[in-house]
Amino acid sequence: MAQDPERNDQGQPKAIPRFLELRSSKGFILATVCVAIFTDAFLYGVVVPVLPFSLRERSGVPEDQVQWWNSFIFAVFGGAILIGSPICGWVADRTSERSISFYTGLIILGAATILFGFAKASWVLVISRLLQGLSAAITYTVGLALLVDTVGRDNVGQWMGTALSSSSFGLIISPLLGGIVYARSGYMTVFAMALGLIVFDIVMRLIMIEKKKAAQYKPAIGTANGFYGTFTQEQPSEQEPQNDSTQANKRQDNSQEAPLLSNEPHKTVPKKSKMPTILVLLGTPRLLAAIYGIFVNVSVLCAFDGVLPLHVKSLFGWNSLEAGLIFLCLAIPAMTGPLVGRLCDKFGPRWIAVAGCSLTAPPLILLRLVDHDSLEQKILLCGLLVCCGFTLILIVSPVAADLSAVVEERERADPNAFGPGGAYAQAFALFNCSMAAATLFAPVVAGAIIERHGWGAMTAAMGVFAFSGAIPAFFYTGGWIFAKDS
């Protein structure tokens, strides 16, 4: 029997929303998740070239304290994500609609941005970044889980690469735009630009309809494309009576394109393991390799956010416009994320992740050569940053796609591991925690190394750190390397 359409308080079927199939399509859901992730990343990075100048000019922070406040404000953002992500993941795996959490994150983001726009005191900026971090915790955790709910298993690498490349692109392009706008029009214009992006994000999220909700109006949407397999069961349509043979054929056909959360119908719901889901996930070396890989990637990017504008300001005498433009060298390579995701789907994630970590180390170490003001030094800086951009994007897609594969294999080995709610949101919460720890760790540590030992020591330390990500990726990404099926 087909699932009944959603009804109103009088028991009458509700009208089908306009453009239902478009609003619940894979492409539109992917676009909405990408916009949401890009918005959060953009709001994180747009203040990178602005803060060192606005803290002095707008907040009255003494020049010798600007580096500390600059690093601390970025660290607060990461701390909020680190605390909020596990909670968001736990809630998301126990709610029937991801969009509710999505809207909550959007409200928090809007409040944080308005607060940031009118803030003058440095402590108000800290509160604003705290709220932005909580919003990012919701957006990344719920958005990536929603994406896994929606797409097919065979294409998860490509789609995840697209979504996370929007994060990398936002992190990198936002300092460029922030520097240009701040230099030309001032602080409030930067705020207006951020607010305009939030309005667009609001529109996208309000238009989007999850497949689970769409199937309440048209069950064929759910049975054809899949949705929340851990919460619902596939139902045949009333217009298509099916015998056992046709149902078996349909299940076989759908297994090729079903999303990672879809399960076969079952008569009883398995009991969840007594061990907390987070601990079950953390006991998986393959998952630990994935979250360490993204930790390395985001740490390098956030280290640049925390120290590069100040370095080019002191070394070359650049203003906020020129300090923002230098991030274009990292932004252009980030657009190759979908291509990298496609390569992961075709060749597997292991060697792409290993190559990304290994090849990022040399240009990072060579950045120590940029130590005086000349045209050749500026060209060298730009060239090395472009190399870093192309190698860093090789890390993101493999580890993100591998994360969803870890949950799927764990559930296949032990159906009782996570219970009926699944664990995709909590897995991506750990992924998000790793990113948050990087935003907390990198600016502070990179700034401290520069203050004590100089620019050259910082770049060398980041190069060695980037290479360390290749070790767990070699052994565990894509599965234990010495396993028989590897």
Q: Return the SS3 of 238.
A: coil
Per-residue pLDDT, 230? 38
Strand positions, DSSP E, 257-342:
none
- Beta bridge mates, 152: 259
- The DSSP element (H or E) to which 331 belongs, if any, is helix 328-331
Q: Which residues of the chain have pLDDT under 70?
A: 1-14, 93, 95-98, 152-158, 161, 219-274, 415-422, 484-486
Predicted local confidence at residue 1, as pLDDT: 40
User: Dihedral, CA atoms, 36, 37, 39, 42, nearest 10 degrees?
Assistant: 180
Q: 274 burial class (0-12, 13-18, 19+ CB within 10 angstroms)?
A: exposed
Question: Three-state SS for 7?
Answer: strand
> What integer pLDDT is reported at residue 367 of this predicted model?
94
DSSP H helical ranges for 208-283 = 211-214, 219-225, 244-254, 277-282
- Residues 428, 164: Cα–Cα separation, whole Å: 12
Give residue 151's pLDDT.
72
Tens of pLDDT along 295-346?
A: 999 899 888 877 888 888 888 888 777 777 888 888 788 778 778 878 887 8
Tell me what pLDDT residue 224 has.
46
**What was the pLDDT predicted at 356?**
93
Question: How far is 13 from 5, CA to CA, in rounded Å?
Answer: 6
